[in-house]
Amino acid sequence: MPQGHGVGTSTPTVVPERAGGVARRVRLPFGRRLLPGAAPALALFLSIRLAGIGAIALANHLDRHALLKGLATSWDSRWYLHIAEHGYGTRVHVLATTGAVQRDWAFFPLYPGLIRAVHTLLPVSWNVVALLVAWSAAVVAAYGIYAIGHHVYGRAVATALVGVWAALPHAVVLDIAYTESLLTALAAWSLYAVMTGRWMWAGVLAALAGLARPTGFAVAAAVAAVAVREIVVRRGRVPPALWIGTAIAPLGWAGFVLWVGHRTGDLLDGYFKVQHAWDSRFDFGAGSVRFLKALLLYGGRVVYPLALVLVVAAVVLFCLLCFDRAPLALIVYAGMLVLITVGGSGPYASKPRFLVPAFPLLFPIALAFARSWRVRPKHVLLIGTVLAVLSLAYGSYLLTASRTPL
């Protein structure tokens, strides 16, 4: 397994792929055994997120609300559960302010499909199944993030990367019945497959990512970008698996978009009309400018200025990621998510949540933690603990007390 050579420099040290970019036999995107150091990293992830659930449980107890219901039926979770139980085309919501008809076709099918499949196997409620699927995906995502960090920079940075991702302010979505954990899991392992030359797996996982969330096509874009580079560098002498995997990658996203278009009677534009009713479209940042103007003129609750700070931080971190010469797949994937977040419309308070799957943005922070750990581990532990506690408290507030869309 390729490993980094310490953390003394910000430049990633990646072992070159073998000629042809793929093995002769099909290989899984992950090994049969855990990567070195993965167990402590996963334990760190679980401890942080369990603490997050504990904070949510405490807040629900103080408000006399049921914990399970709060975790499984918050905001969009209700739509996913309804689709899982009743299928598409069975629920609409009409906005009283504009009269816009919001349909369930705006929600991608993989997560509700998995809920329905698992529910047929386990004798538990829909709410429990939804959480089991989301939590399982979160653990798989954490391992995938560790695998990428280990491949590029080594064990220390990989562990820090997982810890920082687990402690994000909006990582509370990893505890509830949302799709960010599923997209991150598929994206991480697809990108890892690209970086290790497993093109068929990269394509299949990218296609599944495209069925998880609207932003899932960012994974296919990353696969395609690396494939184009390989074709150019190798002057077209690439294995068939590269062509096949790259062709498969966008099929999930494109297939669902066309299916929605077919259902609406407008094959190419129907899906985007559905999203428009949800105020979800790419407006080249016009909505972000309007939000910034309103925030400066009228102010807002803590959720809104903090959302702005987090989005600006994401842009800065992306610049640092590019400056550090990270692998192309990570740059393209993270860049697409940042572009969609900054240039898209919709509730600004939700934008930091859209960036939770953009884990490559956290590499500069993970590098800083890993370097400091070698010199002043107690300081790093103290700072990390304080930031994690503040983040968990804020995440609990977002889910239980804030009235803004998550």
What confidence score (pLDDT) does residue 10 get? 40
Task: Give the Cα separation of 257 and 279 in Å (integer).
Answer: 17
pLDDT at 2 over 90: no
Is residue 18 predicted with pLDDT exceeding 50? no
What is the predicted pLDDT for the residue at 343?
A: 94
User: For 263-289, what is the mean pLDDT?
Assistant: 91
In a domain, 257, yes or no: yes
Residue 22: pLDDT band with limits 50, 70, 90 = very low
Would you state the pLDDT for residue 341? Answer: 96
pLDDT at site 31: 62
Alpha-helical (H) ranges within 265-361 are: 270-277, 286-298, 303-323, 328-343, 351-354
Contact between residue 200 and residue 244 where contact means Cβ atoms under 8 Å apart: yes
Domain of 180 in residue numbering reads as 38-400
Per-residue pLDDT band at 287 (split at 50, 70, 90) = confident
CB 362 within 8 Å of CB 164: yes
**Any domain includes 31:** no
Q: Tens digits of per-residue pLDDT, 355-399?
A: 999 999 999 999 999 999 989 999 999 999 999 999 999 999 999
- Joined tokens for residue 133: 């699927």
Q: How confident is the model at residue 272 (pLDDT cuts 50, 70, 90)?
A: very high
Task: Report which secondary-structure segment, H or E, holds 83.
Answer: helix 77-86
Q: Which of 94-108, 138-152, 278-292 has the lowest mean pLDDT?
A: 94-108
pLDDT in tens, 63-88: 888 899 989 999 899 999 999 999 99
Task: Say if CB 72 and CB 82 are below 8 A apart.
Answer: no
Tokens describing residue 310? 């987090």
pLDDT of 144 higher than 50: yes
pLDDT given at position 302: 86
Q: Are 124 and 102 in contact (CB under 8 A)?
A: no
| Residue 277: both structure tokens together | 């009713």
The answer to whether position 241 is within a domain reads: yes
131: in domain: yes
Banded pLDDT at 191 (limits 50, 70, 90): very high
**Once rounded to an integer, what is the mean pLDDT over residues 228-255?**
96
Strand partners of residue 344 = 282
Those residues with Cβ within 8 angstroms of residue 364's Cβ, 6 or more apart along the chain or in another chain? 10, 317, 320, 321, 324
pLDDT digits (tens, 9 = 90+) for 331-353: 999 999 999 999 998 888 999 99
Beta bridge partners of 101: 94
pLDDT of residue 9: 37
Is residue 22 situated within a structural domain? no
The pLDDT of 78-106, averaged and rounded, is 87
Residue % of the chain over a pLDDT of 70: 92
What local confidence, expressed as pLDDT, does residue 11 receive? Answer: 42
Q: How many domains does the chain have?
A: 1
Name the more confident of 35 and 77.
Answer: 77
DSSP 160-171: HHHHHHHT-TTG
pLDDT mean over 22-30: 53
Tell me the percentage of the chain whose pLDDT exceeds 90. Answer: 74
116 inside domain: yes
Q: Does any domain span residue 27?
A: no
Q: Are 145 and 162 in contact (CB under 8 A)?
A: yes
Least Cα distance to 165 among 371, 397, 358 occurs for 358
Q: Which residue has the higher pLDDT, 141 or 374?
A: 141
- Average model confidence (pLDDT) for the chain? 90
Q: Residue 12 falls within a domain, yes or no?
A: no
